[in-house]
């Protein structure tokens, strides 16, 4: 029951990132939003670790710093950078769809890198989930070039973050997951700085209340809350954890309807039902070794 509660809460928080990001990039360039979010979130997480988790080691060794840097480059710099840029071209609903492709790539990479053969039940749940998500997203798909450009950017980011998840699982960490999250987010933000400085248009930036609300939401509920839950879940089993990604578009479309005016159609409802069936089929996955 604890894993189910954490999985549901993760999906609810993580799926809100698309709407919060879409609102934020109405005020500033996407990379500015991503950079502010990453650096402030990383600092907050490490400060909390320092003051409230003193029994855990916070300072990484040289080897651990290299591992954290590589993880942060994949998980934060590349993925989050791709995510925010892609949302320039996509609606929040389609943005939440991208998170649901993550389980497919995690499963395939798990099989390749962890010498694990995907089970029939597992593949069936993935196919059901992806089919439901695509069906729910059908009314949102627009065949104009800018939408497909955004989808390609998102797909590249999802492949990278799936690889980052496998890297996290394969690495023997001596730091706890909260500290790991803090360092990888902060380092990811630092790596993103040169790209933000080069590509961002500061003349169009408007640091208004909408921007600050978006940043605050992305830092606390998403970067701190949802990512901690995600690390906890993948510590249990990365493939079973990835199934919770199937619910992200469901919540994502609800948020998009409430805050961005996106419509919920018959396809959305039917797709949601198929997603839930996929989750039920795959809820008793075996643990990854």
Q: What is the DSSP string of 49-103?
A: HHHH-TTS--SPPHHHHHHHHHHHIIIIIIHHHHHHHHTTTS-HHHHHHHHHTHH
Q: State pTM to two decimals.
A: 0.83
Is 273 within the bounds of a domain?
Answer: yes
Is 192 within the bounds of a domain?
Answer: yes
Q: pLDDT-derived band of residue 282, with 50, 70 and 90 as boundaries?
A: low
Is 260 within the bounds of a domain?
Answer: yes
Is 288 within the bounds of a domain?
Answer: no
What's the domain count of the chain?
Answer: 1
Is 246 within the bounds of a domain?
Answer: yes
Percent share of the chain, pLDDT over 90: 42
> Model confidence over 26-58: pLDDT tens digits?
999 999 999 999 999 999 999 998 888 777 789
The confidence score (pLDDT) of residue 289 equals 40
Range in 65-69, 107-111, 162-166, 222-226 with the lowest mean pLDDT? 107-111
The confidence score (pLDDT) of residue 186 equals 97
Distances (CA, A) of 268 to 28, 247, 260: 31, 12, 16
Cα 93 to Cα 250: distance, rounded to the nearest angstrom: 9
Cα 275 to Cα 183: distance, rounded to the nearest angstrom: 34
The confidence score (pLDDT) of residue 288 equals 42
pLDDT higher than 80, residue 255: yes
User: Which among 252, 272, 276 is positioned nearest to 262, based on CA atoms?
Assistant: 252
Distances (CA, A) of 70 to 42, 185, 256, 258: 15, 11, 33, 37
Is 287 within the bounds of a domain?
Answer: no
Cα 160 to Cα 138: distance, rounded to the nearest angstrom: 25
Q: pLDDT-derived band of residue 64, with 50, 70 and 90 as boundaries?
A: very high
Q: Which two tokens stand for residue 170?
A: 């394969």
Q: Which range marks the domain in which residue 81 is found?
A: 2-281
Mean pLDDT of 180-207: 93
Is 289 within the bounds of a domain?
Answer: no
Mean pLDDT of 244-252: 82
The confidence score (pLDDT) of residue 25 equals 94
């Amino acid at each position: 029951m604890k894993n189910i509660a954490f999985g549901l809460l993760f999906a609810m928080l993580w799926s809100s990132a698309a709407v919060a990001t879409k609102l934020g990039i109405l005020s500033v360039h996407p990379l500015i939003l991503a950079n502010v979010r990453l650096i402030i979130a990383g600092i907050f997480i490490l400060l909390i670790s320092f003051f409230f988790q003193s029994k855990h080691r916070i300072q990484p060794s040289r080897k651990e710093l290299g591992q954290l840097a590589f993880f942060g480059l994949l998980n934060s710099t590349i993925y989050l950078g791709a995510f925010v840029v892609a949302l320039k071209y996509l609606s929040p609903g389609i943005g939440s769809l991208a998170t649901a492709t993550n389980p497919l790539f995690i499963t395939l990479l798990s099989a390749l890198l962890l010498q694990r053969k995907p089970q029939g039940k597992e593949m069936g749940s993935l196919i059901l989930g992806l089919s439901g998500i695509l069906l729910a997203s059908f009314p949102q798909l627009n065949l104009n070039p800018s939408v497909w450009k955004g989808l390609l950017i998102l797909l590249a980011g999802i492949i990278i973050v799936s690889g980052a998840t496998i890297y996290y699982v394969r690495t023997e960490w001596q730091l706890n997951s909260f500290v790991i999250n803090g360092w990888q987010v902060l380092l990811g933000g630092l790596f993103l700085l040169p790209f933000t400085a080069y590509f961002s248009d500061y003349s169009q930036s408007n640091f208004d209340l909408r921007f600050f609300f978006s940043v605050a939401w992305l830092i606390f509920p998403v970067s701190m809350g949802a990512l901690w839950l995600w690390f906890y879940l993948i510590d249990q089993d990365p493939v079973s954890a990835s199934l919770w990604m199937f619910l992200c578009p469901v919540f994502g479309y609800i948020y998009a309807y409430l805050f961005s005016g996106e419509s919920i159609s018959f396809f959305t409802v039917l797709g949601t039902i198929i997603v839930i069936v996929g989750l039920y089929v795959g809820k008793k996955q075996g643990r990854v070794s």
